[in-house]
Chains A and B, each alone.
Chain A
Amino acid sequence: MKNQFLIENLNQLAQVDTTWMDDVTFYKNNRNWLDRSAKIALKILRTLRENKNKAHHPNSQKELADTMGVSPQYINKIAKGTENLTLETISRLENVLNVQLIELTNNYLITNTYEQIEFEGLFSFSSQQQIIEIMIMSQQEMANWSNQAGEYSYAMAA
């Protein structure tokens, strides 16, 4: 092997780092919410930039933090796109920024006609906005609803 001395030297100097392998495993196990978190972060950042161009409020992470009553560091963590956000935080962000960050498709309802009837019977909704409102119900409400609706709670929380 050429440069044997250098390679042995590097083997001695170098610290073995396998943390990037842990990152691969972490991503594999958490892919769904990580990808969503990244998309939410991007939507927030693009909205702030658009607000800045139009001189609307809030137009910076600092202003967003102040309006929400949270620390700028927390907003900065969200903007990285790796924060596991609660529905409550998402809703607050949506209200302050006046944008929709998550959206439920109608696929679930369309492909589960029978369940749709039951589901509609329970909540009598007619628009996506109302679905979002159902999603931010309290834990107790969710537990009660879960008991009635069985597996649908999983579909809503996903």
Chain B
Amino acid sequence: MKNRLKVLRAERNWSQADLADRLDVSRQSVNAIETGKYDPSLPLAFKIARIFEMTIEQVFTDEAEAA
């Protein structure tokens, strides 16, 4: 699943570890989500959206839909 996590994180000057702490996940999870190797659970996707004060659709793009 495509997402804007890396850009949103950079805009706030947060490291992967900073965001991982805020989300209560491993640092590797943030990297894996950013590189499209790991799809977050629905609760985690909501948590990510909330932290950036956005909707899930503003953070994540369904590739099937985008294609």
- Decide whether A and B are members of one complex: no
B-binding residues in A (CB < 8 A): none
A-binding residues in B (CB < 8 A): none
